[in-house]
Amino acid sequence: MTPLFDPIQVGDLELPNRIVMAPLTRNRAVAGLKPGALQVEYYRQRASAGLIISEATQISPMGQGYLDTPGIYDSAQVAAWKQVTDAVHAVGGRIFVQLWHVGRISHSSLLPDAAAPVSSTDRRPNVQTFAAEGFVDVSAPRALRDEEIPALIEDYRHAARCAREAGFDGVEVHAANNYLLEQFLRDSVNDRTGPYGGSIFNRARLVVEIMQAIAAEIGAGRTGIRISPMTTFNDTARDSDPQALFEHLVARLDPLGLAYVHVIQGETGGPRYPDDAERPFDYAALKACFDGPWMLNNGYGPEDAPQALAAGEADLIAFGRPFISNPDLVRRLREGAPLTPPNPETFYGGGAEGYTDYPTLDADGAVES
Ligand code: PHB
């Protein structure tokens, strides 16, 4: 047995293993931006994970940036997600919802009244998103006014309340991959003056205030956060001093007693230690700023995941792509069974193909066809 199968207390939850299903955008929401019967089956199939983190789910209509991603802000969405959480719980699993606001990574056609996306800045990144008409350049954003920040924090609090009503065991705040919250954190994007711009303290303020609001609403032991200090995903340059920025943020969150911190190492979906990083990021120093469960992600597999746990680099490992194509990933890791590779063509959008039709091992440990 490897440390992957040691139970662990994570906030209010006792997890039976250290294997987490990472949040994965799949663009299969049904009308009303809700999960449907397919999502119920997809998450139920993966419930042997120590913890499932749902696909990124917008906190408000302004938080959407791609076609057919779900939300968690209205009563119909809450009822639909309740079907998912009931199915996961019925087979003994646990599931958090990832709370998402894309900020400037959006297109007006996806937003209420064809509004401009909102961000820390009015500068547009050179990226595309997928909207009803296909791939389109993101729209020019509008910088949020300081007076609008309390309503934004309220949207996060409201979504967290909706999450609990929907039966989620907790929430993960998406502060990674250069969506809205990281657009405030990084000095490569945030060009504000005032309380939410300038110093590291000020750039971290929005994330801290959101985490405080959610922890007050549903409990810190049911609240986690995901960060990605070094990724350039979404055409976004690194902060001028990511080590200082993220050590400050994590140290300031530590007293809240959060369920966990979840770190994407390196480039999202790419190398954990990018060759072009001027200085390699010291993830151990970042971990030392936090006194709770530490989750690492990005390309881990059957060999290096247990090694990272055994070395004390992490308490939990989040697996993304392996969970897409191996609903019984936990069993396969336990038995040393081969992993089925995923088909990238079915990652985003579509139906059951490449979503709920991946095989599981049969009673003899062979891959069912
Ligand atoms: C995506 O839609 O490709 C996506 C969404 C959320 C992420 C990363 C990628 O954090």
Place of tokens 């958090």: 96
Report if residue 366 sits inside a domain.
no
Query: In this predicted model, what pLDDT tens digit does every residue of 347-367 receive, in sequence order?
Result: 999 999 999 999 999 988 888
Q: What are phi and psi of 111, to 5 degrees?
A: -115, 155
Q: How far is the CA of 23 from the centre of ligand 1 (A)?
A: 9
What is the distance between the alpha carbons of residues 120 and 20, in angstroms, rounded to a whole number?
31
Query: Would you state the pLDDT for residue 363?
Result: 84
124's CB contacts (< 8 A; 6+ apart) are 104, 137, 138, 139, 140, 141
Tell me if residue 97 falls in helix, strand or coil: strand
Residue nearest to atom 9 of ligand 1 (CA): 25
Please, where are the H alpha helices in 91-240? Answer: 149-165, 180-185, 200-218
What is the domain count for the chain? 1
Query: Is residue 179 among the annotated active site residues?
Result: yes
Ligand 1: atom nearest CA of 177 is 10
Residue nearest to atom 10 of ligand 1 (CA): 177
For the chain, the distance separating the N- and C-terminal CA atoms, rounded to the nearest angstrom, is 28
What is the distance between the alpha carbons of residues 261 and 68, in angstroms, rounded to a whole number?
28
Tell me how far CA of residue 44 lies from CA of 34, 260, 328, 330, 340, in angstroms: 16, 23, 11, 14, 19
**Could you tell me the CATH number of the domain that includes residue 162?**
3.20.20.70
Report if residue 352 sits inside a domain.
no
Whether residue 56 has its Cβ less than 6 Å from ligand 1 = yes
Helices 149-165 and 200-218 meet at what angle, rounded to 10? 30
Report if residue 70 sits inside a domain.
yes
What is the distance between the alpha carbons of residues 55 and 62, in angstroms, rounded to a whole number?
17
Q: Beta partners for 134? A: 131
Whether residue 281 has its Cβ less than 6 Å from ligand 1 = no
CA atoms 59, 52, 328, 84: torsion sign: negative
155, 160, 164, 170 alpha-carbon torsion, rounded to 10°: 160
What is the distance between the alpha carbons of residues 198 and 175, in angstroms, rounded to a whole number?
18
What is the distance between the alpha carbons of residues 220 and 79, in angstroms, rounded to a whole number?
24
Q: How far is the CA of 25 from the centre of ligand 1 (A)?
A: 6
Query: In this predicted model, what pLDDT tens digit does every residue of 271-329 receive, in sequence order?
Result: 999 988 778 999 999 999 999 999 999 999 999 999 999 999 999 999 999 999 999 99
Report if residue 360 sits inside a domain.
no
Per DSSP, the chain holds a count of helices (H) and strands (E) of 10, 14
Please, where are the H alpha helices in the chain? Answer: 37-45, 75-90, 149-165, 180-185, 200-218, 242-253, 283-287, 304-310, 321-325, 329-335
Q: How far is the CA of 132 from the centre of ligand 1 (A)?
A: 17
Task: Dig out the tokens for 102 from the structure.
Answer: 């894309």
Query: Would you state the pLDDT for residue 366?
Result: 84
What is the distance between the alpha carbons of residues 259 and 45, in angstroms, rounded to a whole number?
24
Residue 242: closest CA among 189, 292, 301, 191 = 189
Residue 191: closest CA among 141, 260, 261 = 141
Residue 102: closest CA among 59, 166, 149 = 59
Report if residue 325 sits inside a domain.
yes
Whether residue 98 has its Cβ less than 6 Å from ligand 1 = no
What percentage of residues in the chain have a pLDDT greater than 70?
99
Angle, CA 240 vertex, CA 234 and CA 241 arms, to 5°:
110
Task: Dig out the tokens for 47 from the structure.
Answer: 């419930």
Which residue stretches of the chain have pLDDT < 70?
1, 368-369
8 Å CB contact between 135 and 158: no
| Of 156, 179, 260, 300, catalytic | 179
Whether residue 318 has its Cβ less than 6 Å from ligand 1 = no
99's CB contacts (< 8 A; 6+ apart) are 57, 59, 72, 156, 159, 160, 163, 171, 172, 173, 174, 214
Report if residue 351 sits inside a domain.
no
Domain membership of residue 160 as a residue range: 3-346
Q: What are phi and psi of 41, to 5 degrees?
A: -70, -45
Pair type for strands 170-174 and 260-264: unpaired
Report if residue 298 sits inside a domain.
yes
Residue nearest to atom 3 of ligand 1 (CA): 25
Report if residue 47 sits inside a domain.
yes
Query: In this predicted model, what pLDDT tens digit does every residue of 35-63 receive, in sequence order?
Result: 999 999 999 999 999 999 999 999 999 99
Whether residue 177 has its Cβ less than 6 Å from ligand 1 = yes
